[in-house]
Amino acid sequence: MKMKTKSEVALVVLTVFVTLSLLLPSVLSANYAIVYELLDCPGGSIHYRLNVAVSESLLEYYVEKSHALISDNDFAKFVTPYALKPVADCLRGIYSDDEDFANGVLMIVHQISYEETRPPKYPVETMVANEGDCDLFSYIAASIMKVGGLDVVLFYYESKEHMNVGVSLSHDPNFARGTVDYVLHDGTRYYMAECTGGNWQDGWRVGECPDNLKGAMLQVITLENCEQSAAGQVSASYNALAVSTVSLDISSAYLTQGSSVRLSGQLSPPLQNKTITIYIKANGLPWSELGAVATDSSGWFKYVLVADVSGICYLRASWSGDEGYASADSQTRTVTVLPWFLIALLSLTVILVGVGTVAFLMSRHRRSEFSEPQPPQIPS
């Protein structure tokens, strides 16, 4: 078999790079809309409708994160307070009392369909799928309660294969029906908050405990290891969320390793000082946050990416939305970063081809001189 030269290999690699970048189209992402019903208090008469939107970039960010559970302490990593802060802010707008706030959170998780789920999922994944089991519901409830200002823990019943939430309140629960159940941990009362049930209007309230859990052994899991920050947030409002869009343009689709490319785009409506998150996916790694920039008075933003690795990079700009607008993602843009060794090989190939061409032409010229017929010699 004939072995390929380095220059031939370089040309093949370049062809693959270019072909892949052309075959992978830009994709326009979508939002996932979710609606939750709320009452002013358990058994109350004032009705609210909470609209929540999740961008595809935020969903993919969590889908591609590690879902491994190595020990019981890993349960806490599925609690994501920052990502659900807009939901907590909306609830705090109608629930000033801690107990009312906690019961409002339970109304939300009681509306999600029960389905045994393995492996575990992050709250954003569960909310988009609209199904999960006890631990997934508990992660959502703990996330919203914690970012809403409550001291909260997870209760894990290993023998029952069950999980719910323990929450500390500023006063004893007033809406609990019957005996109030709590666990005393490090001097703090954590009241039972059962997250399953399916009856959001008249389901489990803070302080109530299912009969099969009364007296059951449990492990208190504190949340020091919960997620401290995230690349984005959901958007939430009691009003219908208006549509927003984000554009993303790149100054060049091809560049060499170590050089830079300018990213720019605009948020519509043109809102100022809104945080735009730039996501990147490269070399088979999960989507991750590249950086964040603020919009100017016209909604424009700019970001400079220095390509320190080679390969095909996918880039996306995202806005988490606010109380008036749903979150938005830009199209996914592709940048092909050529490695230095490939550029060096291509340059060497060009030089060698040039030198070879000149040498070939000179050789032909010399041969033509020798092959020209000589005029006959006249004897003297």
State the CATH number of the domain containing residue 177. Answer: 3.10.620
Query: Looking at the domain assignment, is residue 226 inside a domain?
Result: no
Instruction: Report which residue type is found at 184.
Output: L
Same domain, 178 and 120: yes
Same domain, 250 and 264: yes
Same domain, 277 and 164: no
φ/ψ of residue 263, rounded to 5? -105, 135
Query: Looking at the domain assignment, is residue 334 inside a domain?
Result: yes
* 3-state secondary structure at position 344: helix
Whats the size of the chain, residue-wise?
380
pLDDT of the residue at 73: 83
- Which of the listed residues 189, 221, 253 is the one where a domain comes to its end? 221
Walking along the chain (380 residues) 10 residues at a time, the average pLDDT comes out as 48 43 45 96 96 96 94 94 98 98 98 96 98 98 98 97 98 96 98 96 97 96 95 95 97 93 98 97 92 97 93 96 95 91 58 65 67 60
Token pair for 34: 């979710």
Is this prediction's pTM over 0.85? no
Count other C-beta atoms under 10 Å from residue 140's C-beta. Answer: 27
Same domain, 185 and 299: no
Same domain, 193 and 261: no
Locate all alpha helices (DSSP H) within 187-243, ordered by sequence.
Answer: none
Same domain, 105 and 39: yes
Same domain, 35 and 22: no
Same domain, 66 and 188: yes
Same domain, 38 and 161: yes
Range of the domain at 132: 31-221
Same domain, 85 and 169: yes
List strand residue ranges (DSSP E) for 56-110, in order.
Answer: none
pLDDT of the residue at 310: 87
pLDDT of the residue at 3: 47
Same domain, 202 and 159: yes
Q: How many domains does the chain have?
A: 2
pLDDT of the residue at 40: 96
State the CATH number of the domain containing residue 255. Answer: 2.60.40.730
Same domain, 60 and 18: no
pLDDT of the residue at 359: 64
Can you count the helices (H) and strands (E) in the chain?
Answer: 7, 20
